[in-house]
């Protein structure tokens, strides 16, 4: 039996990953450490809360005592660090917290893992630290080319700057101490349990409530969309087969302009829910500050070296995602009550539109 410390396991990707692992393997014990910020939600893990191989601890990855306590209580074999402040718009409103969680939190985990795993003869066998990072550390692409693992880091938002800083610390623990680490950099995820501050669930939620759909700038910024389950299988491959010290890009091979995503969602909802959900809801609003134009991943390395490819076609993934939100309106209602209202009005209440 191996033990995984999954941080941020109550968030979007972390909870999908825990469900994926418990479903797929019966020889992994999962310890989930999550602070339960606005983005963390234990409802996501209701189906496994009594699973004999699952335990949850509420706490902060920056809390050294707590993190060291987990390492002394459990024989942890893998750390999969999902915990982060993850939203670019929030990082523009309030950058400091991104440095705290994303950089210092990662440092705290690295130190605790090193203290527990390093012996006189180097690191114990079978240990690994996986840092879940993002394509956003590479900056922005023009109309040509893709990000490879060799693309220089050039983050633009406080969010991506904090993720890049964390990546460099993780790399330094390999370079300096030979700590077994991998860094995964993935493109934009979508799927069940994503908090409705991100493009796809925000548009679904607004459309269902006949609220305007705020498209930033000209709507032609491009993201490379990856279905969350494919991201989970990629991390599974890196955990088991990734070579220590290596970075792996994970992409959906699925670039789309934002406006196409919004129209696809509208098309599905107007056909299946209500004809009145149509393109008249779209409202172009002032652009995000420092808005990266295009992300596109070259995932050749993980395909060639670890045999991983994304399996979900976008048409299937987006349909499954929309259906999940339609079937889980209560979840949406919970996560959008409270803090979300305040965030939403601060974020969108003052945004200029074309009419202004």
Output the six-digit token pair for 187: 């493109």
Check: CB of residue 352 under 8 Å from CB of residue 286: yes
Asked if 216 is part of the footprint of ligand TYD (rule: CB under 6 A), the reply reads yes
Q: Exactly one of 54, 78, 138, 159 is catalytic; which is it?
A: 159
- Give the pair of three-digit tokens for residue 231: 């991201």
Binding to ligand NAD, residues 231-260 (CB under 6 A): none
Whose structure tokens read 């990734």? Answer: 242
β pairing state of 122-123 and 255-257: unpaired
Interaction residues for ligand TYD, span 41-100 (CB under 6 A) = 88
Using rule CB under 6 A, residue 252 touches ligand TYD: no
Spatial distance between the Cα atoms of 343 and 139, rounded to a whole number of angstroms: 26
Q: Name the DSSP letter for residue 130.
A: E
Near ligand TYD by CB under 6 A: residue from 221, 233, 249, 321 = 221
Give 325-328 contacts, CB < 8 A, sequence gap 24+: 325/192, 325/201, 325/204, 325/205, 325/208, 326/208, 326/272, 326/273, 328/192
226 forms part of the interface with ligand TYD (CB under 6 A): no
186 binds ligand NAD per the rule CB under 6 A:
yes
Q: Does 98 bind ligand NAD (CB under 6 A)?
A: no
Interatomic CA distance for residues 203 and 9, integer angstroms: 24
Considering only residues 101, 106, 151, 264, which one is a binding residue for ligand NAD as defined by CB under 6 A?
A: 101
Reply yes or no on whether 159 is catalytic: yes
For 326, what's the count of Cα atoms within 13 Å in the CB-facing half-sphere?
14
- Output DSSP code: residue 27: S
Our finding on whether 202 is near ligand TYD (CB under 6 A) is yes
Q: How many residues does the chain have?
A: 356
Candidates 205, 199, 249; CA nearest to 222 is 199
Question: Whole-number minimum distance, CB 198 to ligand TYD, in Å?
Answer: 4
Find the binding residues for ligand TYD in span 280-319 (CB under 6 A).
288
Residue 195 contact, options ligand TYD, ligand NAD, none, Cβ 5-8 Å cut-off depending on partner type: ligand NAD
| Site map 291..330 versus ligand NAD, x via CB under 6 A | ----------------------------------------
Decide: is 214 part of the binding site for ligand TYD (CB under 6 A). Answer: yes
CA 271, CA 273: separation in Å to the nearest integer? 6
Q: Is 8 in the site for ligand TYD (CB under 6 A)?
A: no
CA 130-107-198 angle, 5° bins: 65
Q: Least distance from C-beta 191 to ligand TYD, angstroms?
A: 13
108 touches ligand NAD (CB under 6 A): no
Sites of contact with ligand TYD (CB under 6 A): 88, 188, 198-199, 202, 214-216, 221, 223, 258, 288
Sites of contact with ligand NAD (CB under 6 A): 7-8, 10-14, 34-37, 39-40, 60-62, 82-86, 101, 105, 132, 134, 163, 186, 188-189, 195
Q: Which residues are catalytic?
A: 135-136, 159
């Amino acid at each position: 039996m191996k033990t995984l410390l999954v941080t941020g396991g109550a968030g979007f990707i972390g909870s999908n990953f825990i469900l994926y692992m418990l479903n797929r393997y019966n020889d992994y014990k999962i310890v989930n450490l999550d602070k339960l910020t606005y983005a963390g939600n234990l409802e996501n893990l209701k189906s496994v809360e009594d699973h004999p191989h699952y335990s949850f601890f509420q706490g902060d990855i920056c809390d050294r005592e707590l993190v060291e306590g987990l390492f002394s209580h459990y024989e942890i074999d893998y750390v999969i660090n999902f915990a982060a402040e993850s939203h670019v718009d929030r990082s523009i409103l309030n950058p400091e917290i991104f440095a705290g969680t994303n950089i210092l939190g990662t440092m705290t985990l690295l130190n605790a893992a090193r203290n527990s795993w390093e012996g006189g003869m180097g690191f114990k066998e079978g240990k690994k630290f996986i840092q879940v990072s993002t394509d956003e550390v590479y900056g922005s692409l023009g109309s040509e080319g893709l990000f490879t693992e060799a693309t220089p880091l050039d983050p633009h938002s406080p969010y991506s700057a904090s993720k890049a800083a964390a990546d460099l610390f993780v790399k330094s623990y390999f370079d300096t101490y030979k700590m077994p680490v991998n860094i995964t950099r993935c493109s934009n995820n979508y799927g069940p349990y994503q908090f409705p501050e991100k493009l796809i669930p925000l548009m679904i939620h607004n459309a269902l409530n006949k609220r305007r759909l705020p498209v930033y700038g000209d709507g032609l910024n491009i993201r490379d969309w990856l279905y969350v389950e494919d991201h989970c299988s990629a991390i599974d491959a890196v955990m088991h087969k990734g070579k220590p010290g290596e970075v792996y890009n994970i992409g959906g091979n699925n670039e789309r302009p934002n406006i196409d995503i919004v129209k696809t969602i509208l098309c599905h909802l107007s056909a299946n829910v209500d004809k009145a959900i149509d393109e008249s809801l779209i409202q172009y609003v002032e652009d995000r500050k420092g808005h990266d134009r295009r992300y596109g991943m070259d995932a050749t390395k993980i395909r060639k070296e670890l045999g991983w490819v994304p399996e979900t076609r976008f048409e299937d993934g987006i349909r499954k995602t929309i259906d999940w939100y339609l079937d889980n309106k209560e979840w949406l209602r919970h996560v959008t009550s409270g803090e979300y209202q305040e965030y939403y009005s601060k974020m969108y209440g003052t945004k200029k539109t074309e009419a202004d």
